[in-house]
Amino acid sequence: MALINESHPKEFILLGFANHPWVQLPLFIVLLITYPMALLGNITIILVSKLDPRLHSPMYFFLTNLSFLDMCYTTSVVPQMLFNLGSSKKTISYMGCAIQLYTFSIMGGTECLLLALMSFDRYVAICRPLHYPLIMNQHICILLASVVWLGGMAYAFSEATITLQLPLCGVNTLDHLLCEIPVLIKTACGEKGANELMLSVVCIFMLAVPLCLILASYASIGHAVFKIKSSEGRKKAFGTCSSHLIVVFLFYGPAISMYIQPPSTISKDQPKFMALFYGVVTPTLNPFIYTLRNKDVKGAICNLIRSIFRSK
What is the average pLDDT across 214-224? 87
Spacing of C-alpha 297 from chain mean position: 21
DSSP 190: S
Task: Report helix, strand or coil for 279.
Answer: helix
- Alpha carbon distance 167, 37 (integer Å): 39
- Band the pLDDT of 233: cuts 50, 70, 90: low
Task: Report helix, strand or coil for 173.
Answer: strand
Domains and CATH numbers, the chain: 11-311 (1.20.1070.10)
Other CB atoms within 10 A of residue 103 CB: 18
Asked if 188 contacts 9 with a C-beta cutoff of 8 angstroms, the reply is no
The rounded percent of the chain whose pLDDT value lies above 70 is 88
15 burial (CB, 10 Å; 0-12 / 13-18 / 19+) is middle
Report pLDDT for 142.
94
Contact residues for 255 (Cβ-Cβ < 8 A; gap 6+): 108, 112, 207, 274, 278
Quick: pLDDT tens for 43-62.
Answer: 988 988 888 888 888 988 99
Quick: pLDDT tens for 63-95.
Answer: 999 999 999 989 988 988 888 888 777 888 888
Written as one string, the DSSP assignment of 142-169 is HHHHHHHHHHHHHHHHHHHHHHHTS--T
Asked if 144 contacts 117 with a C-beta cutoff of 8 angstroms, the reply is yes
Residue in 164, 202, 165 with CA at minimum distance from that of residue 180: 164
Cα radius of gyration (the chain): 21
Report pLDDT for 118.
92
Question: Is a pLDDT exceeding 60 seen at residue 25?
Answer: yes
Quick: pLDDT tens for 271-294.
Answer: 788 888 888 888 888 888 877 667
